[in-house]
Homo-oligomer: A and B are copies of this chain.
Amino acid sequence: MAKPVTILDVAALAGVSKSAASLALRGTGYVNEAKRRAVLDAAAELGYRPNAAARALGARRSGIVGLILDDLRNPWFVPAVEGLSDGLHSAGLRPLLGDWRLEGAPLVERFLELRVEGIVLVGTLDGAEAALTGIAAPVVQVGSPQAQAPGAAVVTNDDAEGARRVVRHLAALGHRRVAHLGAPGTAVGDARRVGFEDESRRLGLEHRTVGAGLTEEAGYRAGRALLAETDRPTAVFAVNDMAALGVLSAAGDLGLSVPADVSLAGYDDTPTARLRAVGLTSVDNASGEAGRVAAQLLADQIAGAAGAGVAVLLAPELKARSSTAPPPAAR
């Protein structure tokens, strides 16, 4: 490759000093209009591209924010990243993505070496606490109610409220015997279970919770066992869409039709749930909005404003689809 063009070359071509070129290029400070033009033209002509490393070193700030995604395979994070990208850009910060599942703790290290100005945790990162303890950069997390780094700000939807809305929806359809497939030991699982149980009790529904997990496999197993019982519930609320899809498969295996024989609801409103062929009733967890709020929070912290430890709860929204209907008895 040709010898790289530096700001010195630009300055020389434009006939100005190095620092004048720097100022002109960046629009900071005051520069003679004629020289400004000359610098810009020279830069364009030479195809000048600033060196981010040099800039970061000189300016003592990188302008980048590291986004750590819990798992690329589960696309629930997409709206969150969109919101974050939006919010960060308008704060003059640039996001860079990495996958926790694929890279783990070294990813954090790498971001820190890049001197990112902040880190955003998207989703639930297994065992990230250690890697995130004692770091200088501000941390904001979206999508998990449990702080995964000391002092991290948390932005997420109100899982308990979302679960309550599902229960109300099922009750309104006429269901009296409902079940919840939970994910014990996870923060989202606990919150959703609590919401489910509270609201079921309040409405006087016959209800029960069984442990499952956050994956399709877990939902399939638990669903299979649950739906095989003689006094099976008329409606099942799974902790998330993946698990709900597992239940859907289990129902199919058992010859049960959804929603004719059993109604089914999930959580997260994933693209898969929205597919017409699936049509899973779910809860929109407002992750796009969460991303936007998180970006703002992080920008504030970077700018020096307080905000560490803040927790923001967003209102979730029920998305009723074809997987829920009145119970068989009520027909």
Residues of A within 8 A of B (CB): 1-2, 47, 49-57, 62, 72-73, 75, 78, 81-82, 85, 94-99, 102-103, 109-110, 112-115, 134, 136, 216, 220, 245-246, 248-249, 252-253, 271-272, 275-278
Given contacts A73-B75, A96-B98, A276 and B49 within 8 Å (CB-CB): no
The reply to whether B277 and A252 form a contact with Cβ atoms under 8 Å apart is yes
Chain B residues near A57 (CB, 8 Å)? 51, 53-54, 57
Please tell me which one of the listed residues B95, B102, B109 contacts residue A49 in the complex, with CB atoms under 8 A apart: B109
Distance in Å: Cβ of A110 to nearest Cβ of chain B: 6
Chain B residues near A51 (CB, 8 Å)? 57, 113, 115
28 contacts between A and B (CB under 8 A): A2-B136, A49-B109, A49-B112, A49-B113, A50-B113, A51-B57, A52-B53, A52-B113, A52-B115, A53-B53, A54-B57, A55-B113, A72-B75, A72-B78, A73-B75, A73-B271, A94-B110, A96-B97, A97-B97, A216-B275, A245-B277, A248-B277, A249-B275, A249-B276, A252-B277, A253-B276, A272-B272, A277-B278
Report whether over half of chain A's contact residues are helix, strand or loop; otherwise say mixed.
Answer: helix
Chain B residues near A72 (CB, 8 Å)? 75, 78, 81
The reply to whether B85 and A99 form a contact with Cβ atoms under 8 Å apart is yes
Given contacts A51-B115, A72-B78, A113-B52, A276 and B220 within 8 Å (CB-CB): yes
Chain B residues near A245 (CB, 8 Å)? 275-277
Distance in angstroms between the alpha carbons of A282 and B110 in the assembled complex: 38
Chain B residues near A49 (CB, 8 Å)? 109, 112-113
Name the residue on B nearest A276 (C-beta). B249
Distance in angstroms between the alpha carbons of A78 and B72 in the assembled complex: 7
Distance in Å: Cβ of A131 to nearest Cβ of chain B: 13
The reply to whether A276 and B246 form a contact with Cβ atoms under 8 Å apart is yes
Name the residue on B nearest A251 (C-beta). B277
Chain B residues near A102 (CB, 8 Å)? 81-82, 85
Name the residue on B nearest A246 (C-beta). B276
Chain B residues near A246 (CB, 8 Å)? 276-277
Distance in Å: Cβ of A95 to nearest Cβ of chain B: 8
A-B CB proximity, top 7 nearest = A249-B276, A97-B97, A248-B277, A53-B56, A52-B113, A53-B53, A1-B136
Distance in angstroms between the alpha carbons of A112 and B1 in the assembled complex: 14
Name the residue on B nearest A59 (C-beta). B53
Name the residue on B nearest A47 (C-beta). B134
Distance in angstroms between the alpha carbons of A300 and B202 in the assembled complex: 65
The reply to whether A85 and B73 form a contact with Cβ atoms under 8 Å apart is no
Beyond A49-B113, A75-B75, A97-B97, 16 additional pairs, beta carbon < 8 A:
A49-B112, A51-B57, A51-B115, A52-B113, A52-B114, A53-B53, A54-B57, A72-B78, A85-B99, A96-B97, A96-B98, A97-B98, A216-B276, A245-B277, A253-B276, A272-B275
Chain B residues near A216 (CB, 8 Å)? 275-276
Distance in angstroms between the alpha carbons of A134 and B252 in the assembled complex: 55
Chain B residues near A103 (CB, 8 Å)? 85
Chain B residues near A2 (CB, 8 Å)? 136
